[in-house]
Amino acid sequence: MEKVTQFSIFLANKAGVLSRIFREMARTRVNISALAMMDAAEHGVLRMVTDEPDTARRTLGSLNLPITETDCLAVTLANRPGAVADICEKLANEHINVSYLYCTTGAAGGKTLAVLKVPDIKKAMKVLENNKPTSRDEKPVVRSPRMKVRR
């Protein structure tokens, strides 16, 4: 669990805008850890967390796009049903609102990364560190491979 810098990039809804951003991030070797894309009638908002915020800041700045930065909380979770519900419940029990969140899926080691916007990151970290794991946290989910059905 850590505090991370999230970049919000405001984009015109036009072909090629996203590819330009992602190509520049790749060119400068910035890995994107998590991202979410929202759209509205006139523009889209791309939110992303990277492994190199300083390089990402310079790279995004060179594209002359409107950008904001926000501190968020990144929590590594087991990639299983109920993992996000557990952290949201722990925060709610301490009256900490989650303004928004998004997650990666299928990361290495059966983990996922949740990015949360909360009003008080330090308090949220303390709550999540001090709470005992639920019984679901302690048991890994084992999935059997799906059988192919022949027709």
Q: Each residue of 80-114: pLDDT tens digit?
A: 889 999 999 999 999 999 999 999 876 667 788 89
Closest listed residue to residue 128, CA positions, set 51, 74, 81 = 74
Task: Give the model's pLDDT for residue 132.
Answer: 55
Tell me: do 53 and 88 sit in the same domain: no
Task: Give the model's pLDDT for residue 144.
Answer: 36
**111 touches 78 (CB < 8 A):** yes
- Where in the sequence is the domain holding 124, given as residue range(s)? 72-130
* Interatomic CA distance for residues 41 and 15, integer angstroms: 15
Rounded mean pLDDT of the chain?
A: 86
Q: Each residue of 41-62: pLDDT tens digit?
A: 778 999 999 999 999 999 999 9
**CATH number for the domain harbouring residue 116:** 3.30.70.260
Tell me: do 88 and 125 sit in the same domain: yes
CB atoms within 10 A of CB 124: 23
User: Whole-model pTM?
Assistant: 0.79
- Cα-Cα-Cα-Cα torsion 58, 113, 90, 135, nearest 10 degrees, comes to -160
Locate the DSSP E strands across 13-137. 32-39, 43-50, 67-78, 100-103, 111-117
In this prediction, residues 29-46 reach a mean pLDDT of 90
* Residue 34 maps to a domain: yes
Task: Give the model's pLDDT for residue 92.
Answer: 96
Tell me: do 42 and 86 sit in the same domain: no
Burial of 114 (0-12, 13-18, 19+ CB in 10 A): buried
* Interatomic CA distance for residues 15 and 46, integer angstroms: 14
